[in-house]
Copies of this chain bind each other. A is one copy, B any other.
Amino acid sequence: MFRISKLTDYGTVVLARLAEADEELLSATEIAAATGLGTPTVSKLLKQLARAELVTSERGANGGYRLARAPGAITAAEIIDALEGPVAITECSGQDSSCEFEEVCTVGNSWQQINLQIRRALADISLTELQKARPVIPTIRLVPMPAGIPRGNKSDQH
């Protein structure tokens, strides 16, 4: 339905936690505990974010993650790119224009325009701004919830 996936949203929660920690090294387990998300899930997300170079990692005992850059320099577009691949409103709006039906199929152009505008909007929002509305979440209230940002059940519209 034209929305970001749950994992991407969880990803912003994880990144927000790291932003809050400000340079301090946090392990996946710690982040999971702080956000209420599952440890394997957090771990998976951090690996993806590390590969996209939005966070840096240190291995070994006492290892963990920290933001690769200041929160203000990480954009929503980058987060989405990292966690769900490049934003593309249609399958054929990528740069790689190597379709065998190219002469016939001509959807491209306008969707690509839209795509560009969406990308622009996403590139304009930084982690700082995403974080702004997500201040210190009282841990005690999160514990009973399965996910850091509870949703996905019946009626939890915000």
Listed in ascending order, the chain A residues whose CB lies under 8 Å from chain B are 1-5, 9, 12-13, 76, 80, 84-85, 87-94, 96-102, 104-111, 113-114, 117-118, 121-122, 124-125, 129-130, 132-135, 137-138, 141-142, 145, 149-152, 155-158
CB contacts (< 8 Å) of A118 on chain B: these are: 117-118, 121
CB contacts (< 8 Å) of A150 on chain B: these are: 101, 104-105
Min Cβ gap A5→B in Å is: 8
Min Cβ gap A135→B in Å is: 7
Contact at A3–B90, with CB atoms within 8 Å? yes
Give Cα A137–Cα B96 distance, bound, in whole angstroms.
Answer: 22
Give Cα A134–Cα B104 distance, bound, in whole angstroms.
Answer: 9
| Other-chain contact of A133, B110, B141, B142 (Cβ < 8 Å) | B110
CB contacts (< 8 Å) of A111 on chain B: these are: 4, 9, 130
Contact at B1–A85, with CB atoms within 8 Å? yes
CB contacts (< 8 Å) of A100 on chain B: these are: 155-156
CB contacts (< 8 Å) of A145 on chain B: these are: 101
Known contacts being A117-B121, A130-B110, is A88 close to B138, with CB within 8 Å? Answer: no
CB contacts (< 8 Å) of A87 on chain B: these are: 2
Known contacts being A76-B114, A110-B132, A132-B110, is A105 close to B158, with CB within 8 Å? Answer: yes
Give the nearest-CB partner of A86 in chain B.
Answer: B1
CB contacts (< 8 Å) of A121 on chain B: these are: 114, 117-118, 121
